[in-house]
Amino acid sequence: MKKLLASYGREDDFRAVVEQIIADEEKKNNRVLARSLRKTLDNLGSHPQTGGLSRLVPFPDEAKDFIQRIEPRHGPQDIILSRGNIELFVGLIREFRQADRIRRHGLPVRSKLLFCGPPGSGKTLCAEVFANELGLPFFHVRLDSLISSYLGETATNIRKTFEFARRQPCVLFFDEFDAIARSREETGEHSELRRVVNSLLIFIEQIEPQGFLIAATNLDAHLDPAVWRRFDEIVWFEQPDDKMIRKYLEHAFRNVKVTFDPSSYSNQLQSYSYADLERVCVQAIKLSVLNGNRAVSDADFRHAMRDAERRRMRKQKLEDQTRE
């Protein structure tokens, strides 16, 4: 273990130590572990972009208030995407894996993505799954804390963030990017905040990340061209339609016994977001557990839907009040 840690960053040494561990485990007859370690080691070699193992750049201490490393817990099996988006992501992953080859031809590699779509449509989840698929560390930038910190420091913070992303192969994710789009609209021409926002946009324009930079926003129609033209791809996340609702329900109950047909409710679930759908399904499963049943019943699902409906009504009311 000690040798393994000491060899971090030196790939040949690292591999040699792992080979030794595998040989030891084989000798001890721990075949399953040995085979699994072998598979992991072989997989590392399949990312030519990062030369097998990705480097870990020391995390800037000053950035810990607004950059957070997230350990991805979700994989592609956990997300429902439209066919178009699946194709797009498969293409991006392919491009990333062969980035050197593309660059040798003097061609640009797409690496800056803007995710647009209503709340609960899977933007954050997708960024996580994407990082996981690429085998890259996932860093979450909290724009609200980055911007609301002392403005004078914000500029330095932004510079540090980008310096970090330039050196660290990673997925750097700016969630709630609306904060930026909005502050461009709402602040006066010469305010300091406006300058900060503009400098952030310039950084985005100039950076060539070693992994990906992804920003997510709930706004779409009003998206400022100064914002979206900085990105290589704009990815739209839609509210699920009837077909996707059915697909989601099938997915949500794939490992659970049911005594009814969830898809018969697809009509009543129109205008639900994926996050709403998830809440209903989880709640229905929970009720069946609480009732000590082995299968989820029609009554459980209807009960869960009533809860969700109440929640949605309340939320709508709050939104209307804010607008007034």
**Cβ–Cβ under 8 Å, residues 179 and 147:** yes
Q: Which of 269, 249, 266 is nearest to 258 (CA)?
A: 249
Structure token digits, residue 88: 């797009």
Contact of residue 213 among ligand ADP, Mg ion, none (CB under 5-8 Å per partner type) = none
Q: Chain centroid to CA 34: how far? A: 32
Helix axes 151-167, 192-206, angle to 10 degrees: 10
CA distance 197 to 16: 47
**Closer Cβ to ligand ADP, 120 or 169, answer by number:** 120
- What interhelical angle do 11-27 and 31-44 show, nearest 10? 160
| Interface segment toward Mg ion; rule CB under 5 A; list 55-63, 122-130, 206-214, 293-301 | 122-130
86-95 contacts at long range (C-beta below 8 A, 24 or more positions apart): 88/233, 88/235, 89/126, 89/130, 89/133, 92/130, 92/212, 92/233, 93/130, 93/133, 93/134
Binding site for ligand ADP (CB under 6 A): 79-80, 117, 119-125, 216, 237, 274-275, 278
Pick 193 or 244: Cβ nearer ligand ADP: 244
Unique residue bearing structure tokens 């029609």: 298
Minimum gap (Å) between residue 171 Cβ and ligand ADP? 14
Q: How far is CA 90 from CA 3, 95, 96, 131, 289, in A?
A: 37, 9, 10, 13, 38
- Choice between 117 and 211, CB closer to ligand ADP: 117
Q: Is 50 in the site for Mg ion (CB under 5 A)?
A: no
User: CB of 181: closest distance to Mg ion in angstroms?
Assistant: 15
Candidates 49, 54, 111, 124: give the one binding Mg ion (CB under 5 A): 124
What is the smallest separation between the CB atom of 75 and ligand ADP, expressed in angstroms? 12
Q: Which does 125 bind (CB under 5 to 8 A by kind): ligand ADP, Mg ion, none?
A: ligand ADP
Q: Which is nearer to Mg ion, 89 or 253 (CB)?
A: 89
- CB-nearer residue toward Mg ion: 124 or 157: 124
Residue 275: CB minimum distance to ligand ADP, A: 3
Closest contact distance (angstroms) between CB of 108 and ligand ADP is: 27
